[in-house]
């Protein structure tokens, strides 16, 4: 098999199985937190790192929200069964400054949780692994778009960077931002992010003091987020409140 076809095939395989990434991160976090020496930083420094980590994850959620809120129907989204899907080429709004905003959002969301472990080696390893993993996915996705849309795709790819945003060619999106789309599609991502922080926080306390404290702020935030996610999921699957024509 030619290398280009091998990259495309492996990228499609990784795309369909990308939902397992959070599980792998949670499993790896256990020995990382256990082996990390938290005596390196005082309370103030740890608080500063925690705030920075939360802000990074929040930035990732915002990037994803902007993307989802201006995305038309017929795109890959969370699809993991049929592979790549694109009924039209979306080149306006956030897609005019970056070709893969959802993957940037994912990285910021998860690297925030990884930073919360306070382990620099874990941060570097996850960052490199994320790049290698998603580089194949982006390659496969772009091959699909090039085959389907041809020159319009190539012209767009020459002006919009793959992963690091550039605002010099920004163009307004043709679609109005839809908060309904965000509520309908992103509640699980928000819940997973909050769960990630709560998991690390509780794991650290348990390993240090051999106890679980349900009154910790991370658990309170997780409970509130879980309730909100349950309500949104119910509205999504059992009502038409969050449904919109022409949106994924």
| Model pLDDT for residues 96-110, shown as the tens digit of each residue | 999 999 999 999 999
Residue 70 lies in a domain: yes
Residue 129 lies in a domain: yes
**Distance from C-alpha of 211 to C-alpha of 200, rounded to nearest angstrom:** 14
- Expressed as residue numbers, the domain containing 186 is 3-238
Confidence grade of residue 117 (pLDDT, cut at 50, 70, 90): very high
Report the mean per-residue pLDDT for the chain.
87
Phi, psi of 86 (to 5 degrees): -160, 110
Pick left, alpha or beta for residue 212 (phi over 0 → left; psi -120 to 50 → alpha; otherwise beta).
Answer: beta
* Domains of the chain: total: 1
Residue 36 lies in a domain: yes
pLDDT in tens, 216-234: 999 999 999 999 999 999 9
Q: Which pLDDT value is given to residue 2?
A: 59
**Distance from C-alpha of 178 to C-alpha of 245, rounded to nearest angstrom:** 11
pLDDT in tens, 51-67: 999 999 999 999 999 99
Over 90: is that where the pLDDT of 90 sits?
no
**Distance from C-alpha of 170 to C-alpha of 89, rounded to nearest angstrom:** 16
Residue 32 lies in a domain: yes
Tokens 């990228």: give the residue: 11
DSSP assignment letter at 94:
G
Between 88 and 192, the more confident residue is 192
Residue 243 lies in a domain: no
Residue 244 lies in a domain: no
Please, how many CA atoms are within 13 Å of residue 167, restricted to the half-sphere of its CB? 0
Average pLDDT over residues 170-175: 86
Q: Which pLDDT value is given to residue 78?
A: 47
Residue 44 lies in a domain: yes
Average pLDDT over residues 85-102: 84
Average pLDDT over residues 28-37: 91
Residue 83 lies in a domain: yes
Phi, psi of 126 (to 5 degrees): -65, -40
DSSP notation for 160-202: S-SSS--GGG----SSPP-HHHHHHHHHHHHHHHHHHHHHHHH
């Amino acid at each position: 098999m030619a290398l280009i076809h091998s990259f495309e095939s492996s990228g499609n395989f990784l795309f369909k199985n990308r939902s397992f990434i959070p599980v792998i991160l949670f499993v790896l976090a256990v020995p990382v937190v256990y082996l990390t020496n938290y005596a390196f930083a005082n309370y103030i420094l740890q608080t500063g790192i925690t705030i920075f980590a939360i802000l990074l994850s929040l930035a990732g959620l915002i990037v994803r929200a902007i993307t989802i809120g201006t995305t038309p129907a017929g795109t890959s989204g969370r699809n993991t069964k049929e592979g790549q899907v694109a009924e039209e080429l979306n080149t306006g709004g956030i897609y005019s400054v970056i070709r893969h905003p959802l993957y940037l959002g994912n990285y910021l969301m998860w690297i925030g949780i990884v930073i919360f472990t306070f382990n620099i080696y874990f941060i570097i390893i996850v960052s490199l692994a994320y790049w290698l993993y998603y580089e194949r996915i982006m390659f496969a996705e772009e091959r699909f778009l090039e085959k389907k849309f041809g020159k319009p795709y190539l012209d767009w790819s020459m002006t919009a960077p793959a992963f690091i945003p550039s605002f010099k060619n920004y163009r307004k999106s043709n679609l109005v931002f839809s908060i309904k789309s965000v509520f309908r599609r992103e509640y699980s991502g928000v819940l997973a992010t909050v769960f990630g922080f709560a998991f690390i926080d509780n794991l650290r306390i348990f390993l240090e003091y051999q106890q679980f404290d349900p009154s910790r702020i991370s658990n309170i935030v997780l409970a509130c987020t879980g309730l909100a996610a349950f309500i949104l999921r119910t509205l999504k699957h059992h009502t038409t409140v969050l449904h919109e024509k022409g949106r994924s």
